[in-house]
Amino acid sequence: MFKRLPIFAVASLVMVVSACSPRQGAVADDPFERLNRSSHAFNKGLDRNILSPLSKTYTDVVPDPVEDSVSNFARNLSLPGKVVNNALQLDLSSAARNSARFALNSTVGLVGLFDPSQKIGLVEKNTDFGETLQGWGVAEGAYLELPLFGPSNMRDGLARFVDMLLLDPASQILKPPVSEYRTASTMGALLQTRQIYGAQIDEVLYGSADSYAQSRLVYLQSRRFELRDIASDDYIDPYAEFE
């Protein structure tokens, strides 16, 4: 059903998010803090009891080259959706680059299990519909912590579902068993990432006095820097001190 949603659903989403998205100020806009803290507690318990121990088991049992291939496969299948967002942003050079990466990795890289594009300097331009909305002038809006998905905001939270349901050609084209392989590889990539950044994640979640406030701060600063949201009063370039 979702695959048949008309494109005006995206336009409707933009209008809704724009209407609910005041410009962010120096203090995080968090009117849903009580609900967000409940979601944070759920996510933290999920990490402590499932994700963290499972990621350690995964990386201990699965050889590193296999881990890398699984993650490569997942990243490669995400490229068509990024090309769509590149095009919506009128970033044609990045659309061409991501398209070339997908073509090369899907052929020479054996359906994306390997990443020959990286070796020749064809670096991925990561993007999503949240960045597309930002380019269209939609402010981030109130902070949200989504169950399962973690820290976000009104713009990026809604945009995440647009990416999954409307702007991901691979999910609409792939049929079982390939679609199931993709789901498994996405989980593998998540487990590998959790283990790679385990020390930083553990410090935020388990080493801070208020893990919710710390997670919110880390997310907002990193996301604003990622989008170069210099219009925000909260924009901080984390690399400025090294220039």
Q: What angle do CA 73, 79, 84 make, to 5 degrees?
A: 160
pTM over 0.85: no
Tokens of 132: 């597309």
Q: What is the structure's pLDDT at 28?
A: 75
Using only C-alpha atoms, the chain has a radius of gyration, in whole angstroms, of 19
Q: What is the structure's pLDDT at 14?
A: 44
The set of residues, in sequence order, having a beta carbon less than 8 Å from that of 185 and lying 6+ positions away, is: 70, 71, 73, 74, 77
Query: Using CA atoms, how far apart are residues 208 and 54, in angstroms rounded to an integer?
Result: 23
For 95-181, list the strands marked E by DSSP.
143-146, 150-153
Residue ranges of the domains in the chain? 32-67+128-232
Q: In this predicted model, what pLDDT tens digit does every residue of 114-125 receive, in sequence order?
A: 999 999 999 999
Tokens of 230: 């210099």
* Ranges of residues in the chain whose predicted pLDDT is under 70: 1-27, 229-243
**Cα 45 to the chain's mean position, in Å?**
21
Q: What is the structure's pLDDT at 27?
A: 55
> What DSSP designation does 4 have?
G
* Number of Cβ within a 10 Å radius of residue 236: 12
